[in-house]
Amino acid sequence: MEPTVAELAEDTAAHVLPRPGFETIIRDEFFFEAGRHRASMQRLRLEDVEGTVAWARDQCARRGIERCEWWVGWSATPVDLARQLTDLGFVPDDEEATLTGMSIGHEPPAAPNVDVRRIETLEQQLEALEVDWNVWELPEEERASRRQHEHERFDANGTVHHFAAYVDHRPVGFGRAIDMDAGVALMGGAVLPTARGRGVYRGLVYARWQHAVARGTPLLVVQAGRMSAPVLTGLGFRRHGTIRLFMDR
């Protein structure tokens, strides 16, 4: 059975097409994804919470991963999963504790005066990613690690696509899109504080909508943070529900 739009917005990582640099394990009870430095547990339908936590901790230990995120969506079971995780020592994610699953299946507003370009080279991608890292105030040690990671997994013709917005030939906004069978997922987006209020974020969303239309899947889904959710609502995105992020260190 094909997933509903709400399911795509709730458990997005479980539905994106394969991408370099990530290992996945799919079970009826959950979706596990491991990258270079962090892992996540999503699409949680658990019968044995403690047993699953022990399994995930073992998987992370084998890979040398210290950070594992648990995404508790509105359909997660058992219904008191958040409480059970808290009792086991989990804490709200220190980056973004609550997200909103959202989607849009019609054309959002354009930003014709914003210069948005699809990134084609690794050099352009690293330049644009600095915008994202500046917004999130990543330390230099973390940036150096991520630069090396991008070198290893860069694939201009793959399922992951990057876009940048420019002012005076310098990137001021960044957005990532990852292909799905039925649409495109927005995963990552940032605008420098000095460039906000000019339609840059709107332009980045519209460029990714054009990408979705061009591949014949006119649907965008996103798990939006506290800053982007109100903006996306204003652009016509529909809210499906809330996702709570917990951290197991």
Q: Same domain for 68 and 124?
A: no
Section 73-102 average pLDDT: 95
pLDDT at residue 200 is higher than 90: yes
77 falls within a domain: yes
Section 173-198 average pLDDT: 94
pLDDT digits (tens, 9 = 90+) for 24-65: 999 999 999 999 888 999 999 999 999 999 999 999 999 999
246 falls within a domain: no
pLDDT at residue 156 is higher than 70: no
Q: How many domains does the chain have?
A: 2
104 falls within a domain: no
Q: Same domain for 85 and 130?
A: no
pLDDT band at 136 (very low <50, low <70, confident <90, very high): confident
- Which of the residue ranges 100-104, 185-189, 210-214 would you say has the lowest mean pLDDT? 185-189
CATH assignment at residue 171: 3.40.630.30
Q: Same domain for 143 and 205?
A: yes
Q: Same domain for 184 and 131?
A: yes
pLDDT band at 94 (very low <50, low <70, confident <90, very high): confident
Q: Same domain for 124 and 209?
A: yes
CB 31 within 8 Å of CB 19: no
Q: Same domain for 156 and 67?
A: no
Phi, then psi, of 109 in degrees rounded to 5: -60, 140
142 falls within a domain: yes
Q: Same domain for 92 and 125?
A: no
53 falls within a domain: yes
Q: Same domain for 138 and 198?
A: yes
108 falls within a domain: no
Q: What pLDDT does residue 154 have?
A: 67
pLDDT, averaged across the chain: 93
Out of 43, 72, 99, pick the residue that ends a domain. 99
57 falls within a domain: yes
Section 221-249 average pLDDT: 95
CATH assignment at residue 49: 3.40.630
Give the domain range for residue 205: 115-218
pLDDT at residue 155 is higher than 80: no
pLDDT digits (tens, 9 = 90+) for 169-178: 889 999 999 9
Q: What pLDDT does residue 148 have?
A: 75
Q: Same domain for 194 and 131?
A: yes
pLDDT band at 145 (very low <50, low <70, confident <90, very high): confident
Out of 45, 65, 99, pick the residue that ends a domain. 99
Q: What pLDDT does residue 164 have?
A: 95
pLDDT band at 157 (very low <50, low <70, confident <90, very high): low
